[in-house]
Each structure stands twice: as C-alpha cells, then as structure tokens.
Chains A and B, each alone.
Chain A
Amino acid sequence: MLKRNKLTPYLYLFPAFAFLLLVYIPIFQNIWDSLYEWSTFSPDKVFVGIDNYVHLFKDPVFYQALKNNILYAVISIIFQVGGGLIVAAVLEDKLIRKFSPFFRTVYFLPVVVSMTVIALLFTFFYNPEVGLLNQVLKMVGLDSLAKPWLGDSNTAIYAVIAVSQWQSIGYIAMLYIVAIQKISPELYEAAEIDGANKFKMFFHITVPQTKEMTFVAVILTLTGAFTVFNEPYILTGGGPGTSSEVLSTYLYKTAFSKDMMGYASSIATVILIITLLISLVQMKAFKTGKEDA
C-alpha cells in the first residue's frame, strides 16, 4: 500500500465523486420537489405537503400504469427468465453444442440493437393494413385474429410487452449460458450413468445449480419492468387512451407535456420506492446466500 500524502487517495476519487453527485443529488431533490406544486415556466413553487401523493393515490391513470408495469413484470419473468433458462440449457447440451455458438450469437443480436430501431421496426410489423403480422395470420387462415395491434386498447400493452420479450430473451439466455458453463460436467456424466433423461437432468442439475443466476435474472427483469420507458413511449405513447401507459411514460407526460412538475416528482418517488424495495430484497438474499456458503 502506498503511504505518503494522506490526501492522495481522495484526489484520485474526487472526479468520480463529483460525477456521482449527479446521481445522488437528484434523488433527494426529487423527494423535496414532490412536496411542491410547480412548473418549469413559473418561478414560484407552492408548498403543498403530501397533496401530490394524496392526489396520485386517487388517480385512475396511475393505477392503470402500475397495473401495466405489474403485467410487464409477470410476463417478462415467464418469458425472459423461464424462456432464457430453457434456451440456455438447450444450447449448452452436448448434442447441440456444435451449432450453439451460431444460435447464441443470433439470439443475442436484438440486445445490441437500440430499442428505438427495434420499436420503429415493429411499428411496420404491427401495421394494420400492410404489417407482416397480419399478413402471416391471413396466410395461415387466421384472418379473424388480424387486428390493429397497437391501435386496439385491448392488445396495445401486450403488443408492447411482446417487443420487449423479443429483444431480451437472448440477454437472459446469455447470462444463463455463462452460469451453466460453470456447472461441473461430472454432475451430468454421473446422472447419465444413472440413466437420467434430459428432463430429469434439467430439473435436478441445471435448475438448482443456476439458482443464483435465476435470482439475478429475476431482479434484473423486475427492475426493467418497473422502469420501462422506451418501448411504450415509441410504440404507442401510452395509448390508445391510457391503455398502455406505464409509470415512466406517465411521469414523462406529466412533467414534459402537462408541465406538472411536482406531481410528476411524486410519480418518480413511487418508482424510486419500488426499485429500492427490489434492491433491498436483492441485498438481503445475497447476504443470506453468503452466510449459507
């Protein structure tokens, strides 16, 4: 360890610390802001206490948005965590391994493409008249199912969620592939000698041995689902009506279209509390995980 000047380590950390102020100050500022009624153009803030929150908890759009976030979370856990694990387990099976680098790379491709590109591309596929999705449905004789996916308030949120799944399953699968590669091959060899079939091996070796990654994946997906913004913003803008609104898009609209900054801050606080709760569960579980070991 270097000794000498006591100030030296602080000098090294100073630039990082200065930048981190940009992450931390807004968190506290936001809570403070949520106690006022204010807009960007008027200079005075009016202290209203917890009025914004009282209002928020009576706001049907808020509940609609929260419901959509929960829907997002449930569907994402099933498809991304469940689907990702299955895809990874299949790709890591020794019977498939020859081609798995190829499949792996392609499945991961959407992850590196920005959501703006993907969402604009999917507006073509969802297009009611000429979109590929309806064309495919007509080809296979399911004309009756064809509909304006993004323009129908019953399907809009599902169409939005589907795009997220399309992009992200490959990401979680990649995380699971890394985790599965760390499992000792002897476990599988022993099970094979005992005559276990692939399903047994999956449930008795792969699933328990990747438990930690499942936990990480669930946390990542949950956080993603409760902070999602790009997909609904670009695909539907929260509409039709408020049918595909999520907390982040509602926050954005309240702040930058309606210019109700205090109210928008209270939505941000709700997002903060949800993400902090998820992080707390994560920290607690990691702690107990370490005590076990």
Chain B
Amino acid sequence: MQMPKTNVTLPNVVNTATKERKKKRYTGVTIVYVGLIIYFIVIAYPLLWMIISSFKSTDEIFTHSWSMPHTWLIENYVTAWKSGISSYFLNSVIVTGASCFLTVLVSALGAYGLSRFEFQGKAFVLIICLGGLMLSPQVSLIPLYSIIQKLGIYNTHLALILPYVAYRIPLTILLIRAYFLSIPKELEEAARLDGCTSLGILFRIFIPMSTPILLTTTILTAYYTWNEFMFAIIFIDDDSLRTIPAGLMQFRDALQTDWGVLLAGLTISAAPIVMLFLFMQKYFIRGIANGSVK
C-alpha cells in the first residue's frame, strides 16, 4: 500500500529539496557578495578619496569631506609638482632605474655562473644567497651607515642604489637561476660549436630566452626600490637628493596646512607603480608568488 504513495510524493520532495537548496545557495551567494562589496569599499574608498580630495581646497576637504569637488583644482597638482615632488620623482626614477638595471645584470651573470658551470664552492654560494633572503635590513642599519660614510657615498644616489641592489640580489639570482636551468643544453652546445664564447652564449641565448623572468624580477625590484623608506630617510640627508617616500615626509612638514596639495603629491607618488601593476599584473603576481616561496 505504501509503495505507490511514495512513488507519487517522491518527485515532489526532491523538487522542494532542490528548490530549498537553490534558495539557500542564493542567500549564501548574496551574503558573500555583500561581504565582498563592503571589503571593496573599505579598500577602494580611501584611495578614491585621496584622488578626489586632491582636487579640493583645504577648506573644502574640511567642510565637505565626502562630496565631489566644487571646482576641480588641477593647480593642486601643479603646486605639488613645483614644490618638491618633481625632484623627488626624478630621484626615484634614477635610483629605481639604476637599481633595476644593476640588480638584473649582476644577478643574471651570477645565475649563469651557478647554472651552467661546475665549480668548487657552488653549494656555499647557494647557501649565501638563501641566507641573504632571511636577513632584514634593520639589523644592518648601523654598520651599513658607517660603511656608506667610509665609502664616501653618504648623501648620494649611490648610498641607496648599492644597498638596494645588494638586498635584491639573493632573490633575483635564485629566480633567474631556476629559469636558466630549464633552458636546454643543446642550444648552448650548438652555439659553442659555432665559436660563441660563454659570455656570447649568455647574451645571445640565455638572456633573450628569459624575458619573462627578467621582466618579473625587474618589476619586483622596481616595486621594492620605488617604495623603500628606511634607507631612503637615513642614507640621504640632502632634500634635493631624496626619493619619493622620504621626500613625502619633508613635503608634509613643509605643507602642514595645504591638504589638497599634499594629497596631490601622494597621488603622483603612487601612480607609477600602480600603473605598472595594472598593466603588468601577470608578471607582478608571478613574481610575488615566486618570491614568497623562497
């Protein structure tokens, strides 16, 4: 007697169950989206506020913190640029450019030596590179300060470039080496038969074939040097030589009351590396992921 009854009701039960489940899933997804959007606002709003307020007068920032600018004061940017940001910006470009070039060049040479030769002390060199990843700059600060003074480069761009390169080399060597190891040996043997020197093989075969990793390491180095703060405030004393992160502190002290201009300065400072990230996200993320798994 029970059999037919179940037969009749069963599809119905299933139907309501899936409906219930779908409904549950729907509310679940909605809650998750609400969470994601709140987090989105928490992250994006401060950055948007910075950009919007950078077009306001100080008064307006005080009195109408939340609204759009009454008139868009583009001259805030002109004032910021003229009152110091241009020179900080240029210094940052020089220091970042030189650090990236040197880091990648020196690391590519080292990685080549490590991946294509057998020699005594190879394991030692690898350990030194790995160990270099663990040492934080804070620990070296005072001796490095003395060394830089003794080298006579205190208060020059080199006072930043040399330590930046030194601290970026361990990771960069290891990343490039891993890539070089994957390049087939046949290629270099063929080149050698054609009379290519080892340096020729590096520059004609290895470097052209490794563009992705060279780009990744360049971006990582640029990201580090553009934003580095501690060395930048200590190893350079002359305001005209300061890079952006250190210069902004000076800029704030000079502009205590002119918030709009200060915010314009902040926006200019953040823009290049944000652009670099947005346009080269793939390389950026690959670098961050590789860099973390030391």
Q: Is the CB of A109 closer than 8 A to any CB of chain B?
A: yes
Q: Is the CB of B97 closer than 8 A to any CB of chain A?
A: no
Chain B interface, DSSP helix/strand/loop, else mixed: helix
A24→B124 CA distance, assembly (Å):
14
Chain A interface, DSSP helix/strand/loop, else mixed: helix
A contact residues around B281 at 8 Å (CB): 105
Let me know if A248 and B138 touch, CB within 8 A: yes
In the complex, number of A-B residue pairs with CB atoms less than 8 Å apart: 242
Q: Is the CB of A261 closer than 8 A to any CB of chain B?
A: yes
B contact residues around A109 at 8 Å (CB): 43-44, 47, 274, 277
A247→B29 CA distance, assembly (Å):
44
Let me know if A33 and B292 touch, CB within 8 A: no
Let me know if B36 and A90 touch, CB within 8 A: yes
CB distance from A217 to the nearest CB of B (A): 8
Let me know if A2 and B198 touch, CB within 8 A: yes
A123→B264 CA distance, assembly (Å):
15
Number of residues on chain A facing chain B (CB within 8 A) = 85
A268→B234 CA distance, assembly (Å):
16
CB distance from A247 to the nearest CB of B (A): 8
A contact residues around B125 at 8 Å (CB): 13, 17
Across the two chains, which residue of chain A brings its CB closest to B128?
A: A20
B residues sitting closer than 8 Å to A (CB atoms) are 25, 28-29, 32-33, 35-36, 39-40, 42-44, 46-47, 49-50, 61-62, 65-66, 106-107, 109-110, 112-114, 116-119, 122, 125, 128-129, 132, 134-136, 138-147, 162-163, 165-167, 169-170, 173, 185, 188, 192, 198, 223, 226-227, 229-230, 234, 244-246, 248-249, 252, 259, 262-263, 266, 269-270, 273-274, 276-278, 281, 284-285, 288-289, 292-294
Give 12 new A-B contacts, CB below 8 A, not counting A23-B170, A109-B277, A112-B273. A2-B188, A19-B166, A27-B139, A105-B278, A108-B277, A114-B226, A174-B288, A216-B292, A229-B138, A234-B229, A234-B249, A271-B136
Minimum-distance CB pairs A-B, first 8: A12-B113, A26-B140, A16-B110, A114-B227, A9-B117, A26-B143, A29-B143, A22-B166
